[in-house]
Amino acid sequence: MLAGLVAVGCSASALGDLQRFQKALQSHFQVSPPGVELRNGNLLLIAFEDSAFARMDSTRRSEHAQAVAAFVRDSFPAFSRLSTITIGYVALTPKGAVTNRTIYDTKSYRAPDLVAVQPRYQ
């Protein structure tokens, strides 16, 4: 399985940040490398293909997506420039020589809302 990494309208340093972040996501969540795409420097898309997520119910995927969004907030180098984070779950269906990809669940978060709910330490 090939994980996607795309930076549309972004610098070479942003592409390096995406590569490191993709590896951090893989390590932290113990998954195959997710697809990671940054559009125009402010829209971050993360796609998890198949795996255990397909067997989760929508509530558990929602909890997972919230954990991923919090990880983005705490770990993505350019988080302050993000406006939206979208986490998608993709099913892969082999059809002969072709593999169909179907998005079966997505969750989107406005980055400013994630900052507002960041825990306060005293």
pLDDT band at 122 (very low <50, low <70, confident <90, very high): very low
Q: Exposure string (b/e) for 79-98, b if CB count within 10 Å is 16 or more?
A: eeebeebbbbbbeeeeeeee
pLDDT band at 86 (very low <50, low <70, confident <90, very high): very high
Distance set, CA 5 to CA 14, 35, 65, 110, 111 (Å): 11, 6, 19, 21, 21
Ordered structural domains, the chain, with CATH = 5-116 (3.30.70)
**pLDDT at 20 exceeding the cut of 50:** yes
Q: What is the pTM of this model?
A: 0.82
What is the rounded average pLDDT of the residues 16-42?
A: 92
Distance set, CA 66 to CA 6, 19, 41, 110 (Å): 22, 21, 21, 12
pLDDT band at 17 (very low <50, low <70, confident <90, very high): confident
Which pLDDT value is given to residue 101? Answer: 86
Which pLDDT value is given to residue 55? Answer: 82
Which pLDDT value is given to residue 85? Answer: 97
Per the model's pLDDT, the better-predicted residue between 91 and 8 turns out to be 91
Pick left, alpha or beta for residue 28 (phi over 0 → left; psi -120 to 50 → alpha; otherwise beta).
alpha
- Cα separation, 79 vs 95, whole angstroms: 38
Which pLDDT value is given to residue 82? Answer: 95
Residues 6+ apart with CB under 8 A from 11: none
The tokens of 63 are what?
A: 């909890």
